[in-house]
Amino acid sequence: MITVRNYVKPATVEEAYELNQKRANRVIGGMMWVRMSKGNVGTLIDLSGLGMDKIVEEEEQFRIGCMCTLRQLEQHEGLNSAFAGVFEECTRHIVGVQFRNGATVGGSVFGRFGFSDILTALLALDTSVKLYKRGIVPLAEFVEMERDRDILEEIIVRKDKRRAVYFSERMSSTDFPILACAVSEKDRVYRVSIGARPMRASCIEGTEEEMKDAYRRFSYGSNMRGSSEYREHLAEVLIRRAINALKERDA
Ligand SMILES: Cc1cc2nc3c(=O)[nH]c(=O)nc-3n(C[C@H](O)[C@H](O)[C@H](O)COP(=O)(O)OP(=O)(O)OC[C@H]3O[C@@H](n4cnc5c(N)ncnc54)[C@H](O)[C@@H]3O)c2cc1C
C-alpha cells in the first residue's frame, strides 16, 4: 500500500516539474501502477489539470498528450487508420475497458515496463517523446536512458506511411504478454520490435532477407510466464507471421 501525505494538481508543467524534483514526491498519470506500489509519498503530483489529454493529428505527425488513456489510443480513428489498427491491437488485451479508461500513455511509456504492449508497438513506428526539460528524444533512445525526474509531455508519432502490424502471445486474453511483437515496413526496410522478452522492448531494422533470423538478434529471459527458449521460439513465429501479414496486404 502507498501512503500519500499531500495531493497537488499543478496549473503548469513547470510547477509539476519543480515539485517532482523532490525525491519524496511522485507524478501520477492514471495511477493504475503507482497505486499498487509500497511506501510513503510526500506529494502526489496529478497531471490531469494541464490539458495534456488530447490526440492531435497534424499533417506530418500525431501528437499524443501524456494523459491520453489507453482507451483513447484504442479508439482513435486517425491513429488506427494511419497504422492499420496497430493501436487497437496493442491495447485491447490490457485488462479491461474500465482499466484502459484510466491507464495513461504517459505512465505506460515513462514506466518503461518490460511487459509493455504500448512500448513495443510505439518502437516499431517513428516515435519520439517530448520531455519538459530535455526536449524531444527518439523513443529508442529514451527507452535506454537512465530514469530521471523529468516530465513526459507528449508522444510524437510521425505519419511516414509506414505499414505496421502487432501481435502478442498471452496465456489468457487479459494477462500480461508472454511475448509482444510489432513489425513495420517502409521502403522495404523492416523494423522489428520485441517486448516482454521479459525485458523491455527493443528494436532492430533490416531488409526482409536480414530479418529471416531477426529473432536471434534479441536476448530473452525466463519467468513464471515462459522460458527464454519458448520466448525465442515465439519471436521467430510472430516475426515471420508479421512480415507475411504485411506482404499479404501488398498483394
Ligand atoms: C494489473 C495490471 C495489468 C497490466 N497489464 C498490462 C498489459 O498486459 N500490457 C501493458 O502494456 N500494460 C499493462 N499494465 C500497465 C498499464 O497499462 C499502464 O502502463 C500502467 O498502469 C501505467 O499507466 P498509469 O497511467 O497508471 O501510470 P501511473 O501508475 O500513474 O505511473 C506509472 C509511472 O510513470 C510515472 N509517470 C506517469 N506519467 C508520467 C509523466 N507524464 N511524466 C513522467 N512520469 C510519469 C509515474 O511517476 C510512475 O512512476 C498493467 C497494469 C496493471 C496494474
pLDDT tens-place string over residues 61-105? 999 999 999 999 999 999 999 999 999 999 999 999 999 999 999
Provide the 3-class DSSP secondary structure of residue 113: coil
pLDDT tens-place string over residues 138-194? 999 999 999 999 999 999 999 999 999 999 999 999 999 999 999 999 999 999 999
On whether the CB atoms of residues 74 and 88 are closer than 8 A, the answer is yes
pLDDT band at 249; cut points 50, 70, 90: confident
pLDDT tens-place string over residues 101-131? 999 999 999 999 999 999 999 999 999 999 9
Q: Does domain 2-48 have CATH number 3.30.43?
A: yes
Among 14, 18, 20, 34, which is best to mutate for testing ligand 1, by the most ligand atoms less than 8 A from CB?
Answer: 34
Compute the Cα dihedral for 87, 131, 194, 159 and give only its sign. positive
Q: Which three cell numbers stand for residue 13?
A: 508543467
Other beta carbons within 10 Å of 132 = 14
What mean pLDDT comes out for the span 183-206? 96
On whether the CB atoms of residues 179 and 194 are closer than 8 A, the answer is yes
- Top-tier CATH class for 163-250: alpha beta
Q: Above 90 in pLDDT, residue 43?
A: yes
Residue 67, pLDDT score:
98
Closest ligand 1 atom to the C-alpha of 26? 47
Residue 251, pLDDT score:
73
pLDDT band at 250; cut points 50, 70, 90: confident
Residues with CB under 6 A from ligand 1: 26-34, 36, 47, 66, 70, 94-95, 103-104, 106-108, 110-111, 115-118, 151-152, 176-177
Topology of domain 55-158 in CATH is 3.30.465
> Strand 55-57 vs strand 39-46: parallel, antiparallel, or unpaired?
unpaired
H/E segment holding residue 64: strand 61-65
Among 31, 33, 43, 93, which is best to mutate for testing ligand 1, by the most ligand atoms less than 8 A from CB?
Answer: 33
H/E segment holding residue 42: strand 39-46
d(CA 51, CA 66): 10
What mean pLDDT comes out for the span 227-235? 98
Could you tell me which of 113, 134, 27 has the C-alpha nearest to residue 70? 113
Among 26, 53, 100, 104, which is best to mutate for testing ligand 1, by the most ligand atoms less than 8 A from CB?
Answer: 104
Domain boundaries, the chain: 2-48, 55-158, 163-250
Residue 121 backbone dihedrals phi, psi, to 5 degrees:
-65, -45
What mean pLDDT comes out for the span 23-49? 96
Q: Which three cell numbers stand for residue 33?
A: 501502477
Mean pLDDT across the chain:
96
d(CA 2, CA 13): 24
> Strand 61-65 vs strand 55-57: parallel, antiparallel, or unpaired?
antiparallel
Residue 42, pLDDT score:
96
